[in-house]
């Protein structure tokens, strides 16, 4: 992990992005009404199971400003991983309610804690449909700030 707080910058400052309480029943692998294409790894990695109930939360949107891997991106925001995670139901709610915050072509990323392991939901618009991908948190791709992904996390 690098020692840098400049890998990401807050772009939603001043805007209240609210995610209402969720019952945990919605999962990305079965959200065909929302996503035109859903990565088969959601099912392969058994991420098609219901999650937990959640309360209302506020979220912030960041954008990558320096090349970084997942660990660096999220560490810039907080080292307390549990405070950065969202459930799949919350990700789906965000996509429905705030489509303007989802990137075109380049992904919008969400950290998920699924059954004691971390995954990244990678959501993007592509010709004009919404696509859902998934990466294991350990995936060591160096994301480029030239094509910056966005990062959505609970407000701290």
- DSSP 8-state class, residue 120: E
**According to the model, what pLDDT value does residue 5 have?**
54
Q: Tell me the pTM.
A: 0.94
pLDDT at 74 over 90: yes
Sign of the Cα torsion 103, 63, 58, 139 reads positive
pLDDT at 107 over 60: yes
Task: Report domain extents, the chain.
Answer: 8-154
């Amino acid at each position: 992990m690098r020692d840098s707080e400049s890998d990401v910058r807050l772009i939603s400052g001043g805007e209240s992005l609210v995610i209402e309480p969720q019952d945990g029943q919605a999962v990305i692998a079965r959200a065909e009404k929302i996503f035109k294409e859903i990565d088969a790894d959601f099912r392969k990695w058994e991420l098609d199971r219901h999650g937990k109930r959640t309360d209302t939360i506020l979220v912030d949107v960041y954008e990558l400003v320096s090349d970084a891997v997942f660990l660096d991106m999220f560490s810039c925001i907080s080292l307390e991983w549990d405070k950065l995670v969202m459930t799949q139901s919350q990700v789906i709610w965000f996509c429905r309610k705030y489509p303007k915050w989802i990137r075109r072509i380049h992904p919008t990323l969400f950290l998920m804690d699924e059954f004691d392991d971390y995954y990244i939901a990678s959501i993007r618009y592509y010709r004009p449909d919404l696509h859902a991908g998934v990466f294991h948190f350990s995936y060591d791709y160096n994301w480029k700030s030239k094509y910056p992904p966005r990062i959505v996390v609970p407000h701290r």
